[in-house]
Chains A and B, each alone.
Chain A
Amino acid sequence: MVETKTPTLRLEGVSKSFGDFAAVSDLSLTVRPGTIYGLLGPNGAGKSTTIRMIVNIIAPDAGRVELYGQRMSERLMDRIGYLPEERGLYKKMRVGEQLRFFAELKGLDARTADERAARWLERLKLSEWKLKKTEELSKGMQQKVQFVATVMHEPDLLILDEIFSGLDPVNADLMMEVLLELKSAGHTIILSTHQMEQAERLCDDICLINKSRKVLEGGLREVKSSFGRRAVALRADSADGVLDDRALVASVKPFGDYSEVLLAEGADAQELLRRLVGRGASVTRFESVEPSLHDIFIQKVSEG
């Protein structure tokens, strides 16, 4: 049912280069309405360029960007909320005036803008800062203000570039809560990040880009389960002989009081357990785990 709806955003064969440098090559992706979409990739992979093409700041050299099945246009810009990676607020302006200005640029009238600003500042615990100049705020607070500026006009599509960088754990949790609320209210969100932990907790679908190209796309579940190898969280004494067998174990990563054992291609977790027990190792933890997004990210990026 979901698949038949018009996708919120569709990129088709989009490319962009600056001089000789290819920033984005032949990128296609589809964002379903009402989902959180993770645009992942290392620094310089082409995430920001992709986003800039989506929000119509720069034009692609080739390919199509479609929002709700229509070519990106000025009118559609008001239905997008964009939070760039580098935070941009006028230092000398008061928080309340600033929010009103950005909302008016998205077509809101002053009164609605003020009402919504008040509500959002309340929600993000910034109410007492409304009359302060932006330069008096801490970096984390400025980031929350900018987030308010991005969502105030209630855009159908929110594009958030590195939203969690610079937020302390308390605020990062608050932000995650807010994002999930927005999602359940029907907003579509594109998150660009290289913080895999948050992406893993929030995203429905992901797209991994490396060196200007898409290397992976799909639902988070499918990506994880289709990912060839599985891992085992293992705590065992005198297991060394078994773990050295490259036919069985690809790599071992120690984590505090246990190790994460990545199984070799085609190896079976049960086989590992049998071998360990056969060797007389004392196993106190043996848990089959899915590879984390982090592992997938590292592996995919180092393959490229």
Chain B
Amino acid sequence: MRKFLVIVRREYLARVRTKAFLIMTLLLPLFIVGMAVAPALLTRKLGGATRLAVVDETGKLYAPFAAALAETRDEDEEDGSGAPAAQLPARGMPDANDEGQMRKLGEAMGQRFEIEPVQARGRAPDQIRNDLDARVRGKQLDAYVVLPADLLSAGGKAEYRARNLSDVITTSQVRGALRRAVVEERMREANIDPLRVRELSREIQMDALPPGGAGKDAGGSFQLAVGVGLFTYMIILLYGQMLLSSVVEEKTTRISEVLFSSVKPFQLMAGKLVGVSLAGLTQLAIWLAALLALTTFGVAALAARGVSSTMPHVPAVFFVFAVLYFFVGFFMYGTLYVLVGSMVTSEREGGQMAMPVIFLSVVSIYLAFPVIRSPNSPLAFWVSVAPFFSPVTMLVRVVTETPPLWQIALSLAVGVATITFLTWVAARIYRVGMLMYGKAASIPEVLRWLRRA
């Protein structure tokens, strides 16, 4: 037992005292937050407003079009805090969904327009176009729109000419504004009051709430569930790989031979598993503490400043299960990694042999998504009880809709039984494999070791 503890301590310190541990602890949460924020930041329109010239051959559309474009701008300045009834956009209109989404995206990205009317001043239409083309090429202008005289009646086709046609967001915003301007103009011609239509097609409000009195929107719980699944998966993968390379190191440097002359192979294997798992738990504990601090103090601090956040409510029992399932997951995959490590002769070979193990853990992440959608389906039940998938999927269920206790108990029991069996297998293979040099063991060979042991 003393020797076992000596090994546990060495393994623990060998992981925790590295710079990699510190960097990982700080960086992974930053990375995950970054992944969520980066796309929005990266697609934000840089530089000034989009300079747009409008050739209005209808003589009616320039003003409403300019207003429609400006409306985008106004909303943007109000920072998307819900659409006031006074300037209802075309969201309620048929087929406006995609366009509405693009427009919202544009708003988030700080889109601005600077528009100017183009007067004919006696020039021929072709002449006007040539002049505008020259200005666009000369970068005095970003784009121009030609609105033909028959655009309001049927058949007319507007033209958008721009230097950068890959900027689909700008293109779609222009199209959206033009569409709203044309539709409202057509309404006016048909004696319908566009303001009245806007009022009537006002967007509705809906809160998404769990049952019961305490009313608080739990909109963030999807992200939380996915986050929990990902974290569990990452930490198992990360520490499993560490375990693998540490076993391979001891095998290739023959440290195992020295160690086996002092301790039993099983003591070494178990000490290694426990030591590395405690290092993983340390990291998990730091992350969970950060999450807990964020969900309690962070939200409270924001609320004190009058900012309501969409931080989801995390049930306290979640933290208990997170630790439990971390252990179950770690030992399930850890024994597999030890097994692989003792069969191979180099880290590279180990990486290849570990592919099926990684595949198994990736599958559990994919299974997490249907489980989030319907946490009480038979699929969700079976995968959250099945070994290898339960650590990720059951945690996701706990976050989304806590399953009955007997299901959790069953899944833990299956987990423990699997671990017991795998440890039994791994110990036998480890003992022989660690002393076999020269080539990786084949599966039939390994089965022979198992039978003989």
Q: Taking the nearest CB of chain B, how far is it from the CB of A242, in angstroms?
A: 52
Taken together as a complex, chains A and B put the C-alpha atoms of A102 and B250 apart, in Å, by: 14
With A101-B6, A105-B6 already in contact, the answer to whether A86 and B263 are too (CB < 8 A) is: no
How many A-B contacts at CB < 8 Å in the complex?
A: 63
Q: Is the interface of A mostly helix, strand, loop or mixed?
A: loop
Taken together as a complex, chains A and B put the C-alpha atoms of A90 and B255 apart, in Å, by: 7
From residue 209 to 249 of chain B, which have CB atoms closer than 8 A to chain A? Answer: 249
Which of B249, B250, B254, B261 is close to A56, meaning CB atoms less than 8 Å apart?
B261
Contact between chains at A86 and B257 (CB < 8 Å) = yes
Which of B10, B250, B261 is close to A82, meaning CB atoms less than 8 Å apart?
B261
Residues of chain A with a CB closer than 8 A to B435's CB: 52, 57-58
A71 within 8 A of B: no
Which of A58, A91, A102 is close to B262, meaning CB atoms less than 8 Å apart?
A102
Which of B2, B249, B259, B260 is close to A107, meaning CB atoms less than 8 Å apart?
B2
Contact between chains at B263 and A84 (CB < 8 Å) = no
Chain B interface size, under 10 / 10 to 19 / 20 to 34 / 35 or more: 20 to 34
Contact between chains at B254 and A86 (CB < 8 Å) = yes
Which interface residue of A88, A92, A93 has the most chain B CB atoms within 10 A?
A88
Taken together as a complex, chains A and B put the C-alpha atoms of A80 and B263 apart, in Å, by: 12
B264 within 8 A of A: yes
A55 within 8 A of B: yes
Taken together as a complex, chains A and B put the C-alpha atoms of A102 and B7 apart, in Å, by: 10
A149 within 8 A of B: yes
A106 within 8 A of B: yes
Q: Taking the nearest CB of chain A, how far is it from the CB of B15, in angstroms?
A: 11
With A57-B261, A57-B435, A105-B259 already in contact, the answer to whether A87 and B2 are too (CB < 8 A) is: no
Residues of chain A with a CB closer than 8 A to B18's CB: 92
Task: List 7 extra interface pairs beyond A74-B264, A89-B253, CB under 8 A.
Answer: A56-B261, A57-B261, A83-B258, A88-B250, A89-B255, A146-B258, A149-B258
Chain B interface (Cβ < 8 Å from any Cβ of A)? 2-3, 6-7, 10, 14, 18, 249-250, 253-264, 435
A-B contact pairs, 19 of them (CB 8 A): A56-B261, A57-B257, A57-B260, A78-B262, A80-B261, A82-B258, A87-B254, A88-B253, A88-B254, A88-B257, A89-B253, A90-B14, A101-B6, A101-B10, A104-B2, A104-B3, A105-B262, A106-B262, A107-B3
Chain A interface (Cβ < 8 Å from any Cβ of B)? 52, 55-58, 74, 77-78, 80, 82-84, 86-93, 101-102, 104-107, 146, 149
